[in-house]
Structure formats: structure tokens, C-alpha cells
Amino acid sequence: MSFADIPFVTLAGLLAVAVTAGFVDSIAGGGGLLCVPALLAAGLSPAQTLATNKLQGSFGTFSASLKFVRAGHVDLRQATPAIVATALGAAAGCLLVQSIDPGFLRAALPFLLIGVAAYFLFSPGLGDADRHQRLTMTAFALGPAPLLGFYDGFFGPGMGSFLVVALVTLLGQNLTRATAHTKVLNFTSNATSVVFFLLGGKIVWIIGLTMAAGQFLGARLGSHLVLTRGSRIVRPCLVIASLAITAKLVVTDPGNPIHQLFSH
């Protein structure tokens, strides 16, 4: 697909979607809820959509990561074991998804995301103060990090929410620090996935790079809001994002148990 094949109004619309998605994703995740339908509507195949979405999304998570690292909320040296483990997990997930349909995860995912929303909604102690740390960063890298990286490479929806919960409950981080580390680890899994999609030749570069510019800008704005507002903005956004992803999965997947429950 060349530049001449894509109407200017389509590119402009996708750019606007990417700015919004980058803003939302840098705060609570869920930017794919906006980008994936937009890419499909633009005429990309499902494979092209997944590949192009990972490309443009990696720019958003990189932008947010850079902002958080420069603000001192992420110590890259300390986080290196988790970064490496996440990359390895994402690589394994990308390889496996090429031979196994990840559809079976759709049945469990809404229930997990509802649990995430309930956790943040009914945990008044969560805020800008660190909590009791249950795992060291090394232990986190040996267990949760590669599993979460694998999930993002294999399937992906809700990754941001799951990472924040893991970082808060296991590493004892406050919501601002957890959001910062989530973006770094999410960028790691996104960038790893891009490498594998690049080898498959599925990325639509004109669209991907156009949306990447929007993602970079939106994520910059969103991460600034996190740094200035902290848990006051992160917590409600996490609840909304988790419920929104759940709603989308339930509405669009007739095979989901929750969809079947309400369709009878």
C-alpha cells in the first residue's frame, strides 16, 4: 500500500485517532480500543492491522517512557532484569501466536479485567505513596515479567492494566511509579513484537509512521498529566479503561460467556 493509495482525509483521521489513543494509553492503557477499529475501517487486513498497530503503539509507549524516565520515576538500571525478561516473554508469545489461535483467551479476559477494575475501585489506600514490597525486582523479572510479556506478544488487550496491578501489588509501587514502569515494559513488549511483524512484512509503513507521530504527541501529553495529577487521574482512568476493554470484548465476541449470558 503506497502513499497514493491512501486518501489524505483517511491519514488525517488516523492521525487524530493516534493522538487520542496515545494520550489515553499513557495514562491507563487501552489505546488499541481506538486504533485497531480505525485501522480495520481504513481497509487494512487483520494481520496488517495487528502489525501496524504494534508499530505505531511502540512510539506512544516510547514517548511516555522517555517522559517518565527523565522525570526520575524509572531507574533503568534497576529495571533492566524486568525489561529483558519482558522482551523474552514477548518474543515467545509472538512466535507461538503464529501457530496457535489466541481466541481461547477471550473467554477469561473480561472476568480478569472486571477484577482489575474492582481492585482499583475498592482499594482506597492506593495513591501516591509506595506500599509494602512483596518481591524484589529480580524476583519480578523471573516470574511475572516474562509471563506478562508473553501475554502481550501473544494476545495483548488489557496489558497496561495487568502490569499496573502487578507493579502495585508485588513491587509496592505507587500509582505514578507503577504507570511509569508499565510504559517502559509495555514499550519493550511492543518493540519486540514489531521486530517479528517486520520479518513477516505485514506493516503498512505510511499509515504506521503517520500514526506514530500522533502517538508520540498524545503520549507526551498524557504522561505529563500523570506526573502533575498522579493517582487522581490514573486510578479512575484505569477503572474506565478496564471496563471499556471488557465491554468491547463482550459486545464483539458472540462466543464469550458473558455475551451469551446477556443474549438469552
Please answer whether residues 143 and 96 qualify as being in contact, where contact means their C-beta atoms are separated by less than 8 angstroms: no
**Cα–Cα distance, 141 to 73 (Å, whole number):** 18
The pLDDT of residue 161 is: 85
Residue with cell 506478562: 148
pTM to 2 decimal places: 0.84
Which residue range forms the structural domain that includes residue 188? 3-263
Task: Identify whether the C-beta of residue 173 lies closer than 8 Å to the C-beta of residue 181.
Answer: yes
Model pLDDT for residues 17-47, shown as the tens digit of each residue? 999 999 988 887 778 878 888 998 898 887 7
Residue with cell 495487568: 162
In whole angstroms, give the CA distance from residue 48 to residue 139.
36
Residue 58 in this model has a pLDDT that exceeds 90: yes
Greater confidence (190 vs 264) lies with: 190
Assign 222 to helix, strand or coil: helix
pLDDT greater than 80 at residue 7: yes
CB atoms < 10 A from the CB of 142, how many? 14
Query: For the residues 85-113, what does the mean pLDDT come to?
Result: 81
Domain total of the chain: 1
What is the structure's pLDDT at 4? 57
Which CA distances in Å does 208 have to 47, 49, 225? 13, 9, 25
Contact 216, 22 (CB under 8 A): yes
State yes or no: pLDDT of 242 exceeds 90.
no
Does the pLDDT value for residue 231 go beyond 80?
Answer: no
